[in-house]
Structure 1
C-alpha cells in the first residue's frame, strides 16, 4: 500500500491539521530562504505538538553534516534536496538518522538511503511521466505536482511506496484541512493493482 507524506508545513496550525488527517509522514523545510522554511524553534514546537506516531522529515539543501545532525531528536528523517553525495548519506545514517535522497527522473541512481524521492523539479510542482520510474531496491517516494486530481493515476502508474504532496495540499499558499483530508483519504482507499 502506498503511503502519504504531506510536506512544506510551516505553521503550528498545520500540525493540528496533520494530527487530524494522520498522514504517514510530515515534512518541514529546514533549508533557509524558502517561503515555507521553518526555524529550529518552530521545528521543535511542531515536533512537540505533532502526534508521536507521525515521523517528521526535515528537508535540507546542501547543508553540513553537523547542521543536519543538530536536528536529531526533532526530526526522524533527513531529506536531501541538493547535490548531496552518498558519502553524506552514509554519514548521516551512521548516526542513526535515516535519509531520503532526492533525484530527478533523468538521474535515478542507486542510493543506500532509506528512501529515494523522485521529483521532476526539486519542489517545482511539475509533474513528469510516472512510467519513467525505474525499478529500485530502495523504496520510492513520488513527488512533483501531485494533487487530488492526479493522485490516483500517479499511484496506479508509478506504484510508489510513498506519494509526497506539498502545494497540492494548499489553497492560496496555505495548508488546507479539507484538501489534506481528501488526499489522505484517496491514498488510504486505493485499490492495489498488483
Structure 2
C-alpha cells in the first residue's frame, strides 16, 4: 500500500479551449481530459491538438505539465487512429464496453496508457471488503466485471452510471464501495481513480475518508456549463492542500 501521506492526483476533464488551459496550467494538476465521445463537452482532434501543442511548448521551457487523456466510448479502431494521428494523447480512457483483449491491443498498437472506467449503478448493492475474496464466485457485481482487466489496463476509474453516456453524469455513487475497489486495484497493481459528482465542497470529505490515487472532475468545476477557474482552483486546493 502506498504512503498515506501522498495526496491524490487531480484530473480536470472536459477542457475545450487553450484559454482555460492557460489559466489553470500552473495548478498542481496531473491530468487534463478531452472528450471525444458524445457529450456537450465533445471537441475535435484539432482543438485537442492545439491544447497539446501549448503543453509541449511549456514542457520545452522546463515547466511541469499534466498528461493528456482522451475520453472515448466504444470507439472503432479507425476512429482512435484518426484522433491520435492529430492529437498525440498520453492516455486513452475507455468509458464503454471495451473488452480486455481490445484494451491490450490498443495499448500495443498506439503506445499509450489505457484507463478503464467502471460505471456504478446506485441501485447495485454496496460491496464490502469482507466479501472481496468471493470475486471469482460472482458475488461482487461490478468488481467482478473489472477482474478480466487486471492485466489489460494501467488504471481503473470508478464513476456513476449514466443511462445515456455510461458515465459523466455529475452525480455521486455510494462511496462505501470504494474500499473494495481500492483492495481490488491494489491486488491488480494499478491506481484507483474516483469520479462522479465531485466538487470543491465534497472532495475533501472523499479523500479524508478513503485512500484513493486520483480524483476526476468535470461538471463540478463548471458554472453554467463552462469551466470556472475559481472552482478549479478551490477543487485543486482541497485535494492537494
Q: Same fold (TM over 0.5)?
A: yes
More helix by share: 2
Q: 1:14-56 CA distances to partner (integer Å, 9 max, x unpaired)?
A: 211231324110001012x310001011011011113442111
Instruction: Select the residue among 55, 67, 83 that pairs with 1:55.
Output: 67
Q: Distance in 2 between matches of 1:27 and 1:181?
A: 17
How many residue pairs get aligned? The number is 188
Instruction: Select the residue among 135, 153, 156 that pairs with 2:208.
Output: 156
Q: Distance in 2 between matches of 1:168 and 1:10?
A: 15
State the match for 2:169 in structure 1: 124
Moved more, 61-70 or 40-49: 61-70
**Displacement, 1:65?**
2.3
Instruction: Select the residue among 31, 45, 52 that pairs with 1:40.
Output: 45
Q: Distance in 2 between matches of 1:25 and 1:97?
A: 14
State the match for 2:195 in structure 1: 143
TM-score when scaled to structure 1?
0.90
Are the counterparts in 2 of residues 130 and 157 from structure 1 also a CA contact under 8 Å?
no
Say whether residues 1:4 and 2:29 are aligned partners: no
Say whether residues 1:24 and 2:64 are aligned partners: no
Q: Distance in 2 between matches of 1:172 and 1:47?
A: 25
TM-score when scaled to structure 2?
0.73
**Structure 1: runs of 5+ lacking an equivalent:** 190-194
Are the counterparts in 2 of residues 65 and 88 from structure 1 also a CA contact under 8 Å?
no
Instruction: Select the residue among 211, 217, 224 that pairs with 1:165.
Output: 217
Q: Distance in 2 between matches of 1:167 and 1:81?
A: 17
**Structure 2: runs of 5+ lacking an equivalent:** 1-5, 60-64, 121-140, 162-166
Q: Distance in 2 between matches of 1:10 and 1:177?
A: 13
Are the counterparts in 1 of residues 200 and 234 from structure 2 also a CA contact under 8 Å?
yes
Say whether residues 1:90 and 2:85 are aligned partners: no
Instruction: Select the residue among 229, 237, 241 that pairs with 1:177.
Output: 229
Q: Distance in 1 between matches of 2:14 and 2:21?
A: 11
State the match for 1:192 in structure 2: none
Are the counterparts in 2 of residues 61 and 81 from structure 1 also a CA contact under 8 Å?
yes
| 4+ aligned runs moved over 4 Å, structure 1 | none
